[in-house]
Amino acid sequence: MHNAETMAKRILVINGPNLNMLGIREPQTYGTQTLADIEAMCKAEGKRLGLTVECRQTNREGEICEWIQAAYGKAHGIVLNPAGYSHTSVAIRDAISAVAIPTIEVHLSNIHAREEFRHFSYVSAVAIGVICGLGAAGYRLALEALAERLGA
């Protein structure tokens, strides 16, 4: 018999560039929580929902693509905050499209209420949903949505 850990649906939470600076970077826009705070909340929320959550952060676009590709056949869902790469990365968009893993795009701030160049995201077209402007709660909501979709 499998234990609960091996039976849990696996979710990969990926945070993109500059999110390692949360708590320091523009707290009026991004809040005072650190990335470690958000990752701890994601893991606790995952446990509550019966999900196994793994969190990663990088400032490198190619590394995000490699993590998405490596998740093929291993992860059941992805929560992705591509940060600045949302508006520039066809490569990340194509990686998500290639693996066909249900992905929810999350942004701490409301990208539509900010500078014009932030209003468009390449990732949105291949995500099953987008959550923006709700701060760290967006990650919790994304995990809840994935758990419901996956029947976790």
Catalytic residue among 30, 85, 122, 139: 30
Query: What is the C-alpha to C-alpha distance for residues 142 and 106, in angstroms, rounded to an integer?
Result: 7
Q: Catalytic: 107?
A: yes
Can you list the alpha helix ranges (DSSP code H) found in the chain?
4-7, 27-30, 35-49, 61-70, 90-99, 137-150
Q: Catalytic: 72?
A: no
HSE-CB for 39 with a 13 A CA cutoff: 14
Catalytic residue among 85, 107, 122, 139: 107
Cβ atoms of 78 and 106 within 8 Å: the answer is no
Active site residues: 30, 107
